[in-house]
Structure 1
């Protein structure tokens, strides 16, 4: 993608669902018995993004309905198992974690997260912002463009996969915009989208490679021979129904307020408080270590951090080479007052690793 600001969009339900099934419940629970496997997996991904990728913007989307698809087709998603109670309970906790990081939750009553993200991604592109969507749902791949990519997080023994247009073309043999018509032909069992009986992925892909769209296929129906033609004719109504069900809506009445998605605006103490409550020790330690070395990235009061604000802003110099070190030695030799402190990865003196040494000289630098 081009050199634009980047907005990360996390598909809340899809990522939580994937983590719920990837991490064993018995290994993730608090002392009080609260199950946290989905919360932990989701939060780990969130922390990885914030600390490792440091995107300028980030938002999370959740389902709040079916976008009317269940009214178009009574059996839409009818074959899906009911959400486990333990996952439903954890979704509320995930929302609390997201809010603790001061990350906006994007949802619209009556609509699926896919449609919210589709609308927001379109608006981001119009604002010259790149988008990376984190999801476990391959339906989102239809949104791929020059400025929108999709990441499928690691799952069980599979590594993260990031799709751009070339990666999609290589995997599926068609363009991202043709994915809707492929699902119209072959259906989608995960959402109970019917498709055309007897048309599978291989045949559907071949038809789209030749005729490009569902409309194009039916415009050239006389050129298609044998049983495939018969199936297409008999399944035409189901094909267009399935196309409507599979297509992500991109014109919802929701507005992307991009500055509310800024990532460097959360309170360290609020986040670590909920980490303590959920007993996420490893994530707590990681966030704490990062905070010690990257303090400007956190919204943290000076008193909370254990120091008083300086009366004046003084010059800061980072010593990274021999010339700067020689200058520091010369400055120290002539200094009247020197104050020094060690910068470490943790306040735990038995586990901390040295990051650097901070030195103040005569209150001037």
Structure 2
């Protein structure tokens, strides 16, 4: 039997959407515990399945607590803009979300020492070796580099319906570089979400010009670089390696089943089953 298409879900991205994206807080019946995180996560995941992933295997990936450490060792500014502790209830929702996934038949992983992005990249590579189309559900632009494979798409359900899927062709249309060049482009222009500064004086248009003809950073002629840019070039090379996703994370065997995920229950039923009301 042909394995089903795969939907890989960026778990922490979906959690933040659930926690901050609902117009009103959702509490248990005693008004003592905020259940917005687990309710919103279950509701958004079910909606994604109904609208975009019927017949797909769904798999959720979470960041580990120390997952960013390897990149911090390369640059201690990495994600330093996220030093403010999130709402306690947000991270406290994780234990319930994982229980909800278990109860709904959705597999998930939080791999020690790994950022979820790298786990998703590795699972994408494994699935593609099996000939399976892959959709990655996230609003994180780092995943655009995975779209170098035409059978991989990025799904952002926060966007208007006609713009929710991104492909490699969309990367070229929107940014003027290929998906494979995304780490080079981002190293030049910077990534505010991860606190990567980028080369001072290089914006989107200049980066696109420097990377024309599918160049990499190493292939840009020295005479096209201003002295101030050249002085930051080693930083740019280091940032690019941080932005590149690791496709070879060591993971447990047989994480993916290849079979479609059963229809997910409504969020209210999920909370009932977990006795969270």
What's the TM-score, normalizing by structure 2?
0.87
CA distance in 1, matches of 2:182, 2:55: 28
| Residue 259 (structure 1) shift | 5.2
Equivalent position SS for 1:251? coil
Equivalent position SS for 2:248? coil
| Residue 82 (structure 1) shift | 2.3
Equivalent position SS for 2:196? coil
User: Gapped runs of 5+ residues in structure 1?
Assistant: 280-365
Pair 1:208–1:153, CA change in 2 (3 A): same
Equivalent position SS for 1:260? coil
Decide whether the 8 Å contact of 1:123 with 1:256 is kept in 2.
no
Q: Tell me what 1:140 maps to.
A: 143
CA distance in 1, matches of 2:28, 2:124: 37
Greater Rg by CA: 1
Pair 1:78–1:67, CA change in 2 (3 A): closer
| Residue 54 (structure 1) shift | 1.7
Q: Tell me what 1:240 maps to.
A: 237
Decide whether the 8 Å contact of 2:11 with 2:60 is kept in 1.
yes
CA distance in 2, matches of 1:49, 1:200: 34
Pair 1:47–1:193, CA change in 2 (3 A): same
Pair 1:177–1:255, CA change in 2 (3 A): farther
Q: Tell me what 2:153 maps to.
A: 149
Equivalent position SS for 1:9? strand
Equivalent position SS for 2:188? helix
Of 27-36 and 65-74, more deviation after overlay is shown by 27-36
What's the TM-score, normalizing by structure 1?
0.67
Higher relative contact order (CA 8 A, sep 6+): 2
Equivalent position SS for 1:68? helix
| Residue 79 (structure 1) shift | 1.0
Equivalent position SS for 1:190? helix
Q: Tell me what 2:197 maps to.
A: 194
Equivalent position SS for 1:27? coil
User: Gapped runs of 5+ residues in structure 2?
Assistant: none
Q: Tell me what 2:13 maps to.
A: 14
Q: How large is the Cα RMSD of the aligned pairs?
A: 2.5
Report Cα offsets for 1:43-73 as digits up to 9, x if no partner: 1222123444323311000001116101111
Decide whether the 8 Å contact of 1:143 with 1:176 is kept in 2.
yes
Report Cα offsets for 1:194-252 as digits up to 9, x if no partner: 221221222112211256211111xx112x1xxx5223211111101111111111111
Q: How many residues align?
A: 267
Report whether the alignment pairs 1:213 with 2:212: no
Decide whether the 8 Å contact of 2:135 with 2:153 is kept in 1.
yes
1:27 to 25, 28, 38: 25
Alignment of 1:297-336 (within 5 A): none
Equivalent position SS for 1:8? strand
Alignment of 1:48-127 (within 5 A): 48-52=47-51, 53-64=53-64, 65-66=67-68, 68-80=70-82, 81-127=84-130
Pair 1:257–1:234, CA change in 2 (3 A): same
User: Displaced runs of 4+ in structure 1, greater than 6 A?
Assistant: 266-269
| Residue 96 (structure 1) shift | 1.6
Decide whether the 8 Å contact of 2:201 with 2:229 is kept in 1.
no
